[in-house]
Structure 1
């Protein structure tokens, strides 16, 4: 359908604009929508309306750019997403938002309220959960809203435009850096256990998490001045605003490529190298040569074993692999469109693929709590205590006297 309609629409539009195709044999050309509707039929007309639509600019990057855009200069035909597009986007992304926000908040609550889970690794997981919450809250509601407003309408004004785009980038960058930080922490804890005695501590982990967020904040802060709201004139409607890039897309290419290198390629390269070294230590028998000095979320404080470390490393490897996989469609599209812009070629903006790429990013921000539950016994038990309102169990962990009585009873 897309290929056929694309060719037919292009031929029809050329005929309209050249004056070849008019209405009812008169000299006055009809507007493009009316002529297309008569010449193409409903299917291709709906496809055309969906194709000319562009959602508000977000962290995925819109190809429309800045004050030079034609949106400011002429009236556009009003456009909306198709019913199927709205339904699919609202259903899947709404579910992801609900599961992701609740799950990540639960991770933060579990680690905060469970003293035995106050470990360096879990500090980074809390940072990751907070970053994922920021991404979901700053992105998904506006994405779903865009399915139901006219064209690219933005309703939050210029301040909202800058703040939402900044928060999206802040959450994305902090998430990637948090993944890298706990990969390095696991490498030191397992491959250099003697050094880990002074390096792998909760206090140091909190300082590193603070540095991660400070760097992400500074790196993302230019977006507070790189966005703008500009008017769109739709036929038959009052002028509305859209959130857009302040400059032309070409002037953002360096920033886009820096994002890909710093927050995608470098973290993946570091993770591949360090997890390879960790696997060599764990599976070549070097593990037993070293004493335990850094505890993590799946490790018994009384009888640390090799299998417990293998379990937590597997969980973290899965998190990194999923991060790489789910971000690939968006990153690939961004690279392609950036090179297309450099060579003055049309960008790839298929709406269904765009929804797919965005949804993959949202899933990445929502799936980690599910992985912790599936792969970590300690997380699973802690989640159950919170969900079942097991306050007595948590109080026993906090009260030394109660904890001793509980242990005596178990013995």
Structure 2
């Protein structure tokens, strides 16, 4: 960060910006530092960024600094979080775990193959990546202990990779799959790129993402097998062991809650978001869960939401909108275009854009705040380099969402790193390999699929 500030100060780059745009750049640099280095908690840091936007006079009025908190995406994330907590409360997570155990029949090879396949579609029924992590980690630990494997066994390492790095990327297959996907979709709508239907997003994003994820899983498996001395199965008679979880009585509102959740999913799939807003079904579902006869949502559940992240995301949205409105994002894009190859070399242009996205991604610990700031900058490239806005948007979304090189790049990878199972070197190598594969597939998708 110090090097970036020094380079900007020594170069003539600032001459491209007006006084207001220079102040906006200053706020951007301060925000990146606060959200990356975390010298103070994210909540107060967000208030400081808002105060700078108002105090430096780069917004026309104080109300303009809070526009990000009026975005639909913020409240969509809140609603999905509440719904995920309700599903865990009624024991839906145990149902998924028990079903997975029955399908695998306790056989280790089936578990190794089945776990990634389960995560490919699991975001549809359980939006929160952290909820999926919390559901599956105890299951993986239980199976690992049942087979007598060590704490750092190959099975446990691979399982932890799947429920962290692999799991986090899986949220991108649908725009209702998690906070990042919701934000990405709303940014496409707000910046006039397009308003895709649920099934349109799925058909555009799922095939290349699944290909990248499965390729990554195969490469990571080979890498971990090479790094780990312990074999996959150290005893032959372990196959077929009973790994069923203890059966607990279902919540008395279990089926009512699950059926209502299924209706919400079907509504997303079958309706046009331009006619029936995507935020309406989860709003109605949360209200339904809060009815006295149901009693699954109360004030205590709402208070448990991560309001610090709410402040961070709302502030990053406001900053991104400000950069787009006062032309800062456009000037940055035009300045960076000078480093791109000629307009007839589209492949090299896209590869260069991916490199820029990686560089910008490293400035943020949170992918949601990263795309809120980065998206308005890079979407400006669409007209400058003659690339379809939808293709460029999906490229940005897939690369930012798929770049998880260090643990702090997502909550699930951070929690996985705290388990002490995968070494720091292995985390970096796994993150780099999987992120690189996602980026390569995304580049190919721009020309061959999108």
User: Which of the five TM-score ranges fits, normalised by the shorter chain?
Assistant: under 0.3
Normalising by structure 2, we get a TM-score of 0.25
Q: For the pair shown, which has the larger CA radius of gyration, 1 or 2?
A: 1
